[in-house]
């Protein structure tokens, strides 16, 4: 997943502060759309709404991967 440079820096600085200064970090998991804009994952979301058979028909090159994930 792509994470913007400024977000990486914020996380890095938080971890550094916690490690070096004993600052407690309260963690709240972000929602998916706080991390990745909906437009960037729309294609993936649409694909995941399909059945396995539909995916295999549209993406024959990934059939081995899909079958492995089902096991």
Residue 58 to residue 47: CA distance in whole angstroms: 10
Q: What is the pLDDT of residues 30-51, one digit of tens each?
A: 665 567 778 888 888 887 887 8
Residue 51 to residue 54: CA distance in whole angstroms: 5
Q: What is the pLDDT of residues 47-65, one digit of tens each?
A: 788 787 787 787 777 777 7
Q: Contact, 17 vs 23, CB < 8 A?
A: yes
| Residue linked to tokens 């979301």 | 45
DSSP, residue by residue, 10-33: HHHHHHHHHHHH-------PPPHH
Residue 20 to residue 14: CA distance in whole angstroms: 10
Give me the pLDDT at residue 31, please: 62
């Amino acid at each position: 997943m792509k994470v913007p440079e400024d977000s990486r820096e914020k996380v890095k600085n938080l971890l550094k502060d916690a490690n070096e200064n004993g600052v407690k970090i309260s963690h709240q998991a972000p929602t998916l759309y706080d991390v990745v804009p909906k437009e960037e994952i729309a294609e993936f979301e649409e694909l995941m709404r399909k059945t396995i058979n539909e995916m295999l028909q549209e993406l024959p090159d990934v059939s081995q991967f899909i079958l492995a994930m089902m096991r």
